[in-house]
A and B are shown apart, each in its own frame.
Chain A
Amino acid sequence: MTEKNKIETGFASDAQKNPQRVVFVTRNTSAKVTDERGPQVMTYPHLLLREAIALQVLVVALVLVALFWDAPLEQLANPLLTPNPAKAPWYFLGLQELLHYFPPFVAGVIIPTLVVLGLIVIPYFNVNIEGAPIWERRPEQHFRRYAAVIAGLTVFLALFDAWTVLAPTLLIGGLLVWSYYAKPEQSRAAEYLRGRPLSWWLMTWFVAVAMILTLVGTFFRGPGWSWVWPWRAYGA
């Protein structure tokens, strides 16, 4: 009888026999609210109303633009008549621009695979996930490392004559170097850039390169993938 009671007290104790402490309230204090994400409102109607407005604005905008901007339709497809230049859809023109510089295996397989894998592992890549500013810890050592990477990239891209990749790389790399030497109280830009983590710099470099490549591929490439100015007609 006593043995049995010993085992069961942990599961079904009689609160009157074995009182357990649930909460501890000291004098002159109250429960502290740690959540600072602000108040909540009901989804119905607050979110749904905004979604409905978004839908209406979208439909009006779509209809207005579609009334005046016609979808292109060229001649019937002809496998014997290759247009020059033959361009992929605009979101693949960054890749096509890369194909101009690098062998197809690098530009068409390795780089897109690395981009997709890179995007997928972002949240699992635990380095600096709390977003510490880039020059916060051991700045000199890190600066030497980053400067070496930028210099290596510059040489590599210059060897392949990949100027449209090099330009945004130098822009972001230059900003990184500048942010190292700049005093945070010197300007708001310096303060902002010095507060960004490494992940921010990597993504911004990627966005800059992708945007420049896509824009160049869309507007600045003509026959034989030569450089053209979009305001001057070519071909015919």
Chain B
Amino acid sequence: MATTLQASLDRLRATRVWKSIFRRGPAVTNRSRSQAVFGNLFLHWLPVKVREKALTVRASYYLGSISFLLFIALTVTGILLMFYYHPAVPQAYRDMKDLRFVVSNGVFLRNVHRLAAHLMVLLVFWHMFHVFYRGGYKPPHEFNWVVGVILLLLTLFLSYTGYLLPWDQLAFWAITVGSNIISAMPFVGSKMRFILLGGNVVGENALLRFYVLHVVVLPLAAFFFIGVHFWRVQKDGGLTVRSKNDGKK
């Protein structure tokens, strides 16, 4: 069984169609395996080779990878949720009720999105602390650490803007409390709050603005900076791997 599957896969990989899609033959030599990475749009930001030590679980706990995978999961579930959502008062809240009582698996969809969002905030923080304790911010990785801080802020804003969208008491008052902090800024505080909320209180303008930020502006910004972040990991020479001399003077 396994051999027939293997044989048919090999035959498939040798076809003209397969080669036309992947621009290479089967990845059996190191040369074709390199091509599999740098010749592929979706993989080309990865290095062709990685340190064996950087692959161990203890090196990273895969925290950055899992944060990225959560971002993908959030994009998929978020797009599905957008099919059922109107950023209007009070229709937004009715859509939540519809997700619960009318839409097939609507509760499950919302649960996955919310869980992945909280998990992503948690893991991005953990990722940052882990990178710090491993010394991953040291040269030549300085700028990628800064990009990471930007990504942390984007993650927080993404989560915060999504928090308002159900338009229930929890959402409304959490955003009211959070946005009140902005007005404590000297001189420009109340202006900044007005720009963010589209008014002086959390209302339908705020809902629309948070929605646009949550589904368009912030995900695009995050996507851009994730690209820079990955690309720099490769350009800066891969993950920080401890050499034998570390910690000994």
Contact = CB atoms under 8 A, between A and B. Distances in A.
Given A37-B241, A45-B33, A66 B115 contact: yes
A76 interface: yes
B73 A58 contact: yes
B196 to A, nearest CB: 14
B145 to A, nearest CB: 5
B213 to A, nearest CB: 15
Nearest to A131: B135
A109 B141 CA distance: 29
A51 B53 CA distance: 15
Contacts of B244: 36
A73 interface: yes
A25 B243 CA distance: 27
Given A36-B245, A104-B184, A86 B53 contact: no
A84 to B, nearest CB: 10
A200 B103 CA distance: 50
Given A83-B169, A123-B139, A123-B145, A58 B33 contact: no
A42 B46 CA distance: 11
B93 A77 contact: yes
A132 B172 CA distance: 49
B66 A129 contact: no
Contact of A54 (B27, B69, B118, B141): B69
Nearest to B145: A123
B114 interface: yes
A50 B156 CA distance: 28
Contact of B49 (A40, A86, A95, A122): A40
Interface string B100-118: 1000000110111111101
Contacts of B119: 62
Main secondary structure of the interface of B (DSSP, over half): helix
A42 B34 contact: yes
A109 B149 CA distance: 18
A90 B114 CA distance: 13
B8 interface: no
Nearest to A103: B184
A228 interface: no
A62 B112 contact: yes
A235 interface: no
A127 B146 CA distance: 18
Contacts of B48: 42-43
A69 B111 contact: yes
A114 interface: no
A131 to B, nearest CB: 7
Given A40-B52, A54-B62, A76 B167 contact: yes
A108 B142 contact: no
A123 B137 contact: yes
A10 interface: no
A54 B66 CA distance: 7
Contacts of B173: 82-83, 86-87
B197 interface: no
A200 B159 CA distance: 29
Contact of B133 (A37, A83, A96, A203): A203
Nearest to B70: A58
A83 B168 CA distance: 12
B112 A124 contact: no
Contacts of A58: 66, 69-70, 73
Contact of B50 (A41, A96, A123, A200): A41
Given A62-B112, A122-B137, A44 B37 contact: yes
Contacts of B41: none
Interface in B59-112: 62, 65-66, 69-70, 73, 89-90, 93, 96-97, 100, 107-108, 110-112
Closest 4 CB pairs of A and B: A104-B184, A77-B172, A123-B142, A66-B111
8 contacts: A40-B52, A43-B47, A44-B27, A51-B65, A65-B111, A71-B111, A88-B177, A203-B132
